[in-house]
């Protein structure tokens, strides 16, 4: 990393004139007094500001013309964090952690103030030493991507790696994952690895580990405790229950979605309580019965990306749907209004899709409740045009399941049969 990464023009000249580089700990007097670490900037940043990481972990941009003075407290090369050896306790259960990116498995580079991935089990234990008292953790980096960059091919890679541990001495597997698309990944794994004998927990963090309000460590500790003590299998998302630090929620991977952009309790089980809650260091089971119908593990790590999610809205142009049909898509998931409706202007194109043997499934834009297409005439019309109601399946889950079904089914009827077969609690009871 350059001593002035991201700085150019006036900001670069300002830092050079003050003999300050990225990673230096400084005290700045402007409208207020600030103390922190000079941070690198993004490539396309302006040349009017410098960025400072405060002791709270937050970053602040300071306009250079308003800076009265800047004093170097410690140079970058003296601000180091020692990775201490954390000895594992003999006899503890073993957990495998697969890192895909995000902030959950990360550390702070105290030279630059940047958040970087944890690459070894030793670094992970050093960052969250409490983990070494719960389990013996092996860490492996699969890739390092922001969650918005994780694509179906990444789902395949994760599933293929997990399948290698079908017969192992691990008590469970953690997948460190960015939060924005975590429920897409958990959905695919729920179908592709249905019946996998070990519990699998996807864990993320809404607040990065350099912030005082970070949820990273508690989510990770909750996931490890859950895997060690849950006595079940299946795919789960393990995150904060709410803004407080008292409860960690364990959501079934096909019944959960991210419902808030930034709150620590962003994830919620749709239509029910989370399957498990970790409260006061005890695991409480909420849901009754078997979560996962498939008992015998037979991996089906296949998919077909030629599936579309169509969110209907007033004014939706049917020609957009015709483009999808002409592009050779094998399945279309409609996110309809209310009980499962789309405007009658869509009917002629939907008829074409049905005639071409494209599977069409209906979900609802409503957060809760079931699709009921027999209540109104418009719903019955859509049934006659070949659209299949998908009960209370979450639209994103239906999209992923349709990709998986299209990869494992040869034709419309086989895809339909797979879509209506309850595999991993994608329909609620």
List residues with catalytic annotation: 103, 179-180, 258
Q: For residue 148, list its beta bridge partners.
A: none
Distances (CA, A) of 346 to 78, 121, 314, 398: 66, 54, 11, 21
Q: What CA–CA distance (Å, rounded) separates 356 from 214? A: 51
Q: For residue 202, list its beta bridge partners.
A: 175, 237
Q: Are 260 and 266 in contact (CB under 8 A)?
A: yes
Locus of tokens 């250079």: 64
Q: Report the 10 Å Cβ neighbour count for 133.
A: 13
């Amino acid at each position: 990393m350059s001593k002035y990464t991201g700085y150019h023009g006036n900001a670069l000249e300002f830092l050079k004139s003050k003999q300050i580089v990225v990673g230096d700990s400084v005290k700045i007097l402007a409208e207020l007094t600030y103390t922190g670490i000079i941070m690198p900037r993004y490539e396309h940043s302006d040349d009017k500001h410098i960025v400072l990481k405060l002791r709270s972990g937050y970053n602040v941009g300071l306009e250079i013309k308003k800076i009265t003075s800047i004093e170097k407290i410690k140079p970058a090369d003296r601000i180091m964090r020692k990775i201490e050896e954390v000895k594992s306790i003999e006899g503890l259960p073993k957990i495998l952690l697969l890192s895909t990116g995000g902030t959950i498995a990360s550390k702070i580079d105290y030279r630059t103030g940047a958040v970087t991935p944890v690459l070894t089990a030793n670094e992970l234990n050093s960052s969250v030493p409490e983990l070494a008292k719960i389990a013996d953790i092996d860490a492996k980096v699969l890739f390092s991507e922001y969650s918005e960059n994780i694509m179906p091919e990444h789902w395949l890679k994760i599933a293929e790696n997990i399948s290698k541990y079908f017969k192992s001495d691990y008590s469970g597997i953690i997948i460190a994952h960015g939060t924005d698309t975590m429920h897409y990944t958990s959905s695919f794994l729920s179908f592709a690895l249905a019946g996998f004998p070990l519990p699998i927990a996807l864990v993320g963090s809404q607040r990065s580990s350099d912030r005082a309000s970070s949820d990273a460590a508690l989510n990770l500790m909750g996931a490890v405790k859950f895997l060690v003590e849950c006595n079940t299998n299946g795919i789960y998302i393990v995150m904060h229950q709410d803004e407080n630090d008292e409860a960690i929620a364990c959501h079934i991977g096909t019944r959960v979605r991210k419902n808030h952009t930034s709150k620590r309790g962003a994830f919620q089980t749709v239509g029910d309580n989370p399957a498990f809650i970790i409260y006061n260091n005890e695991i409480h089971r909420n849901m009754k019965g078997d979560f996962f119908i498939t008992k015998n593990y037979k991996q089906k790590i296949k998919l077909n990306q030629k599936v579309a999610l169509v969110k209907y809205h007033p004014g939706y142009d049917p020609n957009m749907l015709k483009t999808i049909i002409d592009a050779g898509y094998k399945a279309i998931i409609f996110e309809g209004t209310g009980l499962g409706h789309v405007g009658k202007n869509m009917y002629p194109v939907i008829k074409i899709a049905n005639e071409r043997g494209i599977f069409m499934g209906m979900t609802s834009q409503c957060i809760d409740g079931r699709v009921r297409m027999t209540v109104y005439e418009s719903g019955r019309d859509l049934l006659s045009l070949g659209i299949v109601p998908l009960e209370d399946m979450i639209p994103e889950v239906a999209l992923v399941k349709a990709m998986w079904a299209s990869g494992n089914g040869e034709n419309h009827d086989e895809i339909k049969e797979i879509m209506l077969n309850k595999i991993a609690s994608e329909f609620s009871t």
